[in-house]
A and B are shown apart, each in its own frame.
Chain A
Amino acid sequence: MQRPAGIISLPKIPELKKRLLFTLGMLTIYRIGIFIPIPGVDLQALREFFAMAEGTLLGLFNLFSGGAMENASVFALGVMPYITASIIMEVLSSVFPKLQELKKQGELGRQKINQYSRYLAVFLSFFQGSFWALSLEQTFSATGRLAEGGLTFRISAGLTITIGTMSLMWIGEQITKKGIGNGISLIIFTGIISRLPGTIGNIITLLRLGEVEPMNLVMGLILMIFIVAFIVYMEASYRKIPIQYATRVMGRKLVGGVPSYLPIKLNISGVIPPIFASAILMFPLTIATFVNNPVTQKIASFLNPLSPIYNVIYFVLIIFFAFFYTGIIFNPYDIAENLQKAGAFIPGIRPGQQTSEYLDKVITRLTLVGGIYLGFVCVLPTFFMGAMNLPFSFGGTSLLIAIGVAMDTIRQIEALLYMSSYEGLVGKEPIIRGRTAY
């Protein structure tokens, strides 16, 4: 049986080559942009500060921004404001009926919601940017203040960062249109991956200095490979619910063709639960930063990311949010309704109430497993850094995102390859071609 053209042949197909090059080009622009700083920041002091903050939540944010934060770049916030805005819109749209209606109106409705997300993103990035500028003013590192203060600074920082984020969003959309895969995801992915060389260099240095046990390192590497494989396996897992169409019958039987099914991912909510969970956990910490009193400080010390209490609470919160978020985006009642509208049903189960209950049961079980898996993966970094004494964080949301994006991109590339694989399938004559693209 003929197999589709493999990935190796990717460069040979002109269309794909174009797209690939475009994507790489755009991402390069992004990486270069990292080094454009916002005005008024003492870069040296900043870098030192981040060197110290490696393992903390702040360090995590830096990771997300692809190192933009420690460079005080205009891309400091990355596309995070947009992601946050989309999540907020997502949650809001299942609460407010007005937005719910919009969603149901197909393309135009979705575009409108998208538009709102964008406005929200502008708003968020301005405020987050100014806030960050404020915090820069108040933070000191060994060399002194990170930035000179003043309203002008805050506003200009806010503006420049907003522009930066908007540009990134635009770049992301261009990639989605003219390149391969989903642009925004790729940008986040690139950001995460860009830490890698630095981290590796770090480790090598530490290895030479003897601060790290080689044995630990090797074990850590093996473990890493297993974990990656595990995550890929979990992310690619689906529960396939068989579907039958009442409107697609011919003659006496339902014949030929492909059996239909409704796939439900094991991990429906993606990386949202850990993001929510850490947001919640950040809350008391933030208060502790501003309100200096023994109670808050004690709580803050408990909530040190490396402490066991933190991790337990984190784990539980993740599972909770897995259910919470899944419940929001995956409403069994809506799905049952949509099935009905499409004239489909699950064999043996009546549409409407019964279907909705069945789906609910299935989803609950899946979410439990998925939530546990998610929690496990997110608690990993602590394990790595704490128990194994390895000075880098591996696991958690960044790994999930990276793997998710990679898998999705590969799927898209595959699709492109399939379309080009029809050449020479049967017979040696060239296929009569018209004015179609590929």
Chain B
Amino acid sequence: MNPIIKILEKIIGTKNKREIERIRRKYLGKILSVEEELDKLHNKELRKLAFDYIKKVREDKVSPDDILPEYFALVREVSKRVLAKRHFDVQVIGGVVLYEGKVAEMKTGEGKTLVATLPLALTATEGRGCHLVTVNDYLARRDATWMGPIYKFLGLEVGVINQLEASYKVEWQFPELVEKAIEDNIRAWPQGNIINDPLEREKINMDAISAFQTTLIQVSRKEAYKCDITYGTNNEFAFDYLKDNMRYSLGDIVQRELYYAIVDEVDSILIDEARTPLIISGPAEEDPSLYYKVDKVAAILKKGEDFELEEKSRQVLLKESGIAKAEKFLGVPNLYDPVNIEILHHLIQALRAHHLFHKDVDYVVKDGKVIIVDEFTGRLMHGRRWSDGLHQAIEAKEKLKIEAETQTLASISFQNYFRMYKKLAGMTGTAATEAVEFKEIYNLDVVVIPTHKPMVRVDYDDVVFLTQEEKFEAVIKEIEEMWKQGRPVLVGTVSIEKNEKISQMLRAKGIPHQVLNAKNHEKEAYIIAQAGRFKAVTVATNMAGRGVDIILGGNPEMLARQEVGWDAPPEEFEKALKKYDEICKKEREKVIELGGLHIIGTERHESRRIDNQLRGRSGRQGDPGSSRFYLSLEDDLMRIFGSEKIAPMMRRLGMKKGEPIQHKWVTRAIENAQKRVEAYNFEIRKHLLEYDNVMNKHRETIYSIRRRILSKDNVREIVYEFIYDIIDSLFEKYFPKKGEPDYEGFRRDFEGIFGFIPEISSENLDEAKESLFDIAKSHYESKVSQIPSNIISEIEQFILLNTLDTMWRRHLYSMDQLRESVGMRGYGQLDPLIEYKKEGFFIFVDMIDKLRRNVVSKLFMFKVQEGREKDEEAEIERALSNIARRYKVASPQDGRVNNYGKVVTQVVTQTYAGIRSEATPKSVQVQPSFQISQPTRTQPSGASKIGRNDPCPCGSGKKFKKCCGKET
């Protein structure tokens, strides 16, 4: 295969070159000539031009495609004036690639943030909104504020969305200064100076920079989305989408259309993080004491004797003696009896918690909570919980308070979320290796943008040791060497634990260093920005400090900012800046002489791409630099995925302690191990996507119905559609084309739903269908005619949405179960995916059927009592929220979000069965009188437990278990 790939690469490589040439030829010349014209314009004229363009696009319907060269030139010019940054030619090319909806591979340090401004601003002129997706909250805020001046000058609004509902908008920090600067034509970049390189510090007009500063003000989430450009993280965007589809009124929906998105670090977000679906969950009922009990059992079971571990799939295999011990300890005769299934389940999770999930590697304990550490980025994933009782088992293990198990309320995969955008683009330093995946799954082409200056970093061969100890010793030795010389070193590790270990060893040697654990992005950004200084030693996990440029000699702006603070007057800042400029310049020369930043990798990651990301932090913008990976045969990668034979083989070949191995076979074995893992992960991702595609169909259907319901005018129509469909299916069921018509059955079923007995006889069935529909319709209309129309549509809407949400929730669960169970069918030589599609379809259809029935019967059955009316709006709301409170059902204003990722709406309980509100509002009261029982499995947390033999609270007089607590 390899020679073929090489030939293919040659061909594609030239394809890439051709692509770059095409863009260069088509656009660069024009953009330059426009820029030369714009350069002459006064600030005021420039701004007017910007506003004119917006008007042209929004009102005169000019397509942005047609004004690309002119507008890009405009953005470039504005950027010069407010930021003293001029887009390099390669950056402009990158901008075009992004605008065309592709993935632009741009090496670290090429200034991706600035590149994005071109396509974003251009698309923003349409006013349909565009999203910039980045890896963490800090970067979202930073990038928006950094580039804010450009956008603001152009007349575009910028919003930022962060965790926990924090949302911002970019505004001028000193509006009066801005006006003055525009009036007086003050510009950061001198006029007439068009060069394809950064401007020297002395030539920059600092007054302009200070004047055009932007800052963030807090706004609502909806307002942040209303802006022309919105910066945020992938999690926030996707969660908002899911939350929007749980809202109860159109006014609450925050996201506008999904028009254009640029994903920063696109390989990390669309590939690495694509593996886990995004889930919003709510609490489910459970007894936490079982977790503690089971935890004790898990502690006494011995590995090897009582159970085995399967590291790759993170599973536990119980052995006979283990089962016996557990049964004895828990006083359970047979752990595998279906009655004890819950205990068994918790025991397995407890064992996993003890032996397969490690503190400070997979999770941290913070403020009495267990917080998941994302394996790829090292970030803390607040609000995310492992499912199936695993999180609880870990909480029990760490002797913390156990939070209730959850049920899924909504879910989506990142793949399917981003595929919803009309136009998608991405940027990253490492994409070419995954070009196939990008194309296949997202239909994104990859274009490699040439660097502004040639890359001269030296990447040394890997050094492999037998044991981890030897490896770390060698690493420390190298760090020491570098440090003595004064050369800055950046050490990359795979976990917080390893970070600590290296830090310990360095401390023992007395080498001062910084440790970054991705725990605080903002703080760490400042630390890592200085990782290129003389004698700097930085130890960081994979993705700590990502997105921050490491400038050799240090970053003078950030140093100056750190000294004077954010609120300092511009003059102070400038003074500090001048000072640091000098210092950094000198250090930079020293460091360059020493050879630049040296990168030490301590372990290979599961993907070669991530290794390359680490390497790429050195050697930016033509700087010198080097990298070297230190590995050991005891590394996780080798242990789990490599061949166990290599270590003994090496030992047999007489390798001595402390001696590195540099054998072709070993390198190849390691590379193979990586490839194996990459293939494994790719398979998982592909599988996840194939299954999620089925769910996606379901989700699309349900969410589009939901949107229809939310726009009130359609609600009645939907109700009639449902009625018609029900009658239709009843006809199919009871009057089949072949077979005996079942009149009695039809009548009974019909009455059960509509509440009256239909006239049906053996005469013309087809007419009967139509006439029955009319009868049902008029029945309903006469019933609701006495209620004011706005109230009745509120009620209809409410019942529709609520029932829909409940059914969707249950459907999610069923599909999850189905997904697991189809795996087994492979044994029958059936393709699990096909089975999933087939049964999934039927489950879905079934659910829709039940939805129609439930909605219609509720609507036909409820009774309305007249009351004294006061202020209608308020009364409606009060009535509805009474229902909500009483039955822990989501009410219209209840959009509160307690916790990131946690439940938005309260868990929906069972029925509307015989509601008789205690606190009766002195107004219209809604009182359904028909009982529809639904399974009681999910009690809302906090609802009082009703005994099964107690009288049912709905007031029917029957026992609870026979009434509302009846299981269907």
Contact = CB atoms under 8 A, between A and B. Distances in A.
B841 to A, nearest CB: 4
B837 A419 contact: yes
Nearest to A422: B697
B560 interface: no
A427 B420 contact: no
B832 to A, nearest CB: 11
A335 B705 contact: no
Interface stretch (B62-70, B311-319, B509-517): B311-319
B286 A251 contact: yes
A436 to B, nearest CB: 5
Interface in B308-331: 310, 313, 315, 317-320, 323
A108 interface: yes
Nearest to B417: A434
B443 interface: yes
B675 A108 contact: yes
Question: Which of B258, B733, B821, B935: most chain A CB closer than 10 A?
Answer: B821
Contact of A350 (B310, B336, B694): B336
Given A250-B284, A251-B286, A263-B828, A107 B345 contact: no
A257 B816 contact: yes
A4 interface: yes
B580 interface: no
B420 A435 contact: yes
Contacts of A150: none
Interface in B400-449: 405, 407, 416, 419-422, 424, 442-443
A258 B696 contact: no
Given A251-B285, A436-B696, A425 B342 contact: no
A428 B724 CA distance: 13
Contact of A421 (B315, B405, B818, B841): B841
A341 B821 CA distance: 14
A415 interface: yes
Contacts of B814: 256-258
A258 B843 contact: yes
A330 B693 CA distance: 31
B834 interface: yes
Interface string B820-863: 11011101111101100111110111101100000000000000
Given A257-B818, A419-B694, A427-B704, A247 B348 contact: yes
Interface stretch (B120-128, B473-481, B676-684, B895-903): B676-684
A340 B345 contact: no
A8 to B, nearest CB: 17
Interface string A334-374: 01010011111101111111000000000000000000000
Interface in A1-27: 1-2, 4
B424 A435 contact: yes
B349 interface: yes
Given A260-B821, A419-B697, A427-B705, A435 B407 contact: no
Given A108-B675, A426-B701, A434 B419 contact: yes
Report which residue of A253, A412, A427 has the largest number of chain B beta carbons within 10 angstroms of its beta carbon.
Answer: A427
B937 interface: yes
B818 A345 contact: no
Contacts of A350: 320, 323, 334-336
Interface stretch (A238-246, A272-280, A293-301): A238-246
Given A2-B845, A247-B348, A425-B845, A106 B696 contact: no
Contacts, number: 205
Most buried by A among B323, B816, B845: B845
B540 to A, nearest CB: 31
A252 interface: yes
Interface string A104-146: 0111100100000000000000000000000000000000000
B816 A348 contact: no
Classify the interface of chain A: helix, strand, loop or mixed: loop
A208 interface: no
Interface residues of A, number: 68
B676 A256 contact: no
A436 B342 contact: no
Contacts of A196: none
Contacts of B348: 246-247, 343
A436 B693 contact: yes
A414 interface: yes
Given A351-B318, A419-B697, A263 B830 contact: yes
A261 interface: yes
B820 A248 contact: yes
A350 B303 CA distance: 19
Given A1-B845, A260-B817, A108 B419 contact: no
B7 to A, nearest CB: 18
A243 B341 CA distance: 12
A262 B825 contact: yes
Given A247-B388, A421-B841, A425-B848, A105 B825 contact: no
Contacts of B935: 255-256
A106, A343, A433: most-surrounded residue (chain B CB, <10 A): A343
Contacts of B816: 248, 257
Contacts of A345: 336
A419 B424 CA distance: 24
A102 to B, nearest CB: 11
Contact of B820 (A1, A253, A260, A351): A260
Which of B694, B817, B846 is packed against the most chain A CB atoms within 10 Å? B817
A249 B342 contact: yes
Contact of A257 (B286, B675, B680, B813): B813
A249 B390 CA distance: 11
Given A414-B838, A418-B837, A428 B721 contact: yes
Contacts of B937: 250-253, 255-256
Contacts of A263: 824-825, 827-828, 830
A418 B838 contact: yes
A324 B284 CA distance: 50
A247 B349 contact: yes
A415 B837 contact: yes
B704 A435 contact: no
Contact of B344 (A246, A337, A426): A246
Contacts of B838: 414-415, 418
A412 B337 CA distance: 37
Contacts of A259: 821
B388 A248 contact: yes
Given A246-B341, A251-B938, A258 B336 contact: no
Nearest to A260: B821
B825 A348 contact: no
Contact of A244 (B338, B837, B841): B338
A265 interface: yes
Contacts of B820: 245, 248, 260, 342
Nearest to A115: B1
B848 A426 contact: yes
Contacts of B938: 251
Given A250-B405, A250-B937, A268-B829, 9 more contacts: A107-B683, A244-B338, A249-B388, A263-B825, A330-B827, A353-B320, A414-B834, A415-B834, A427-B705
28 contacts: A1-B733, A111-B679, A244-B338, A246-B345, A247-B388, A248-B820, A250-B284, A250-B405, A252-B937, A254-B338, A255-B813, A256-B810, A256-B813, A258-B817, A260-B820, A261-B824, A262-B827, A335-B827, A342-B820, A343-B348, A348-B338, A350-B323, A414-B838, A421-B841, A425-B701, A432-B420, A432-B707, A434-B419
Interface of B: 258, 284-286, 310, 313, 315, 317-320, 323, 334-338, 341-342, 344-345, 348-349, 388-389, 405, 407, 416, 419-422, 424, 442-443, 675-676, 679-680, 682-683, 693-694, 696-698, 700-701, 703-705, 707-708, 718, 721, 729, 732-733, 810, 813-814, 816-818, 820-821, 823-825, 827-831, 833-834, 837-841, 843-846, 848-849, 935, 937-938
Minimum-distance CB pairs A-B, first 9: A257-B817, A260-B821, A263-B828, A434-B420, A415-B834, A262-B824, A108-B679, A257-B814, A418-B841
